[in-house]
Amino acid sequence: MKKMRVRKQAVPGAFTFFNLFFGFLAIIQASHGRFENACWLILLASLFDALDGPTARALKVSTPFGIEFDSIADIVSFCTAPAVLIYLAFTHGLHPLVGGAISFVPLFAGAFRLARFNLGAANGPSTIYRGLPSTAFAVTLSAFGIFSSRFMGTIGDPRIVILMVLVLSTLMVSHIPYPKLTYIGKSWHSHVRVSFFLLILAALTWWLSLVLFPLAMIYVLGNALRVLIDHDKLNHQPSRLAMRIKRKYHFDR
């Protein structure tokens, strides 16, 4: 029985391993100036990251070690690799210290968010993330690089990227709730999330450079706008909507 559990634990562990491996390769590609390749490798790492948690829960082999291993892999693939990409691809022309500071912002924001996430990991799985996931940040940045490369022939306008980095980094350290797309529950909200996640996978497979970036922006900005709208309604009708929003955005982490 113990051997069987060890074998089961190896499955999500393998997904986390490939997440870390492709994140490392993305850093190498970015350091050689192959920025679009780095973007693709970050996206590939995100696919394996999307599989490790649900697989561990489905096999009932979630462990504190697995959570920590996953977080370390995420820091490499979705914080460090994007930071290196930003510095090498989008800060040329700036003073090295300024470029380094801008590139460090998402690394700090992602590490901060993952540390906060781990503090609540012992409470069990949740349907909601508190703050924009670092994976979503990295996917959005990488998708923009590929989108821009296909349409404009460059990896992206540095001014747009720097603005995007600052906005998304702020969302990472915020308390805005974001739905966990890979969580499968019984409610229709859960099915909508999973359907949206499958749509992203389909986009990645079939319409790579055309659809993934718009879908990522819908997830990132659409949810933030929805929360702001609900917050405005709450100020006008506190008694009735307070409980509804509290139930709607309840999360453990």
User: Residue 45 is which amino acid?
Assistant: A
For the chain, the average pLDDT equals 81
Residue 25 CB-half CA count within 13 A: 15
Q: What are the tokens at 69?
A: 């291993």
Global confidence as pTM:
0.80
Identify the structural domains of the chain with CATH numbers, from first to last. Answer: 2-248 (1.20.120.1760)
Residue count of the chain, please give it. 253
Q: Which residues pair with 177 in a beta bridge?
A: 130
Q: How far apart are CA 180 and CA 93, in angstroms?
A: 38
Alpha helices (runs of H) in the chain, residue ranges in sequence order = 2-31, 35-59, 64-75, 81-90, 96-119, 134-152, 158-173, 188-206, 208-217, 223-236, 238-248
Answer positive or negative: Cα dihedral of 209, 215, 218, 223.
negative
129 burial level (CB within 10 Å; 0-12, 13-18, 19+): buried
Query: Distances from the Cα of 12 to the Cαs of 5, 154, 182, 241, in angstroms?
Result: 12, 36, 14, 40
**Residues 39-59 pLDDT 10s:** 999 999 998 998 887 787 777
Check residues 23 and 185 and name the one with the higher pLDDT: 23
Q: What are the tokens at 146?
A: 């590929």
Average pLDDT over residues 158-166: 95
Q: How far apart are CA 229 and CA 169, in angstroms?
A: 21
Average pLDDT over residues 3-28: 85
Q: Which residues pair with 198 in a beta bridge?
A: none
Residue 188 confidence (pLDDT): 47
Average pLDDT over residues 83-97: 95
235 burial level (CB within 10 Å; 0-12, 13-18, 19+): exposed
Check residues 245 and 43 and name the one with the higher pLDDT: 43
Least confident of 28-32, 62-66, 73-77, 196-200: 196-200
Q: What is the largest CA-CA distance in the chain?
A: 60
Residue 132 confidence (pLDDT): 93
Average pLDDT over residues 113-132: 76
Q: How far apart are CA 198 and CA 1, in angstroms?
A: 34
Least confident of 61-75, 174-188, 234-248: 234-248
Average pLDDT over residues 145-155: 89
Residue 193 confidence (pLDDT): 56
**Residues 167-184 pLDDT 10s:** 999 999 998 888 776 554
Q: How would residue 239 be classed by pLDDT, with cut points 50, 70 and 90?
A: very low
Q: What are the tokens at 87?
A: 């510095």
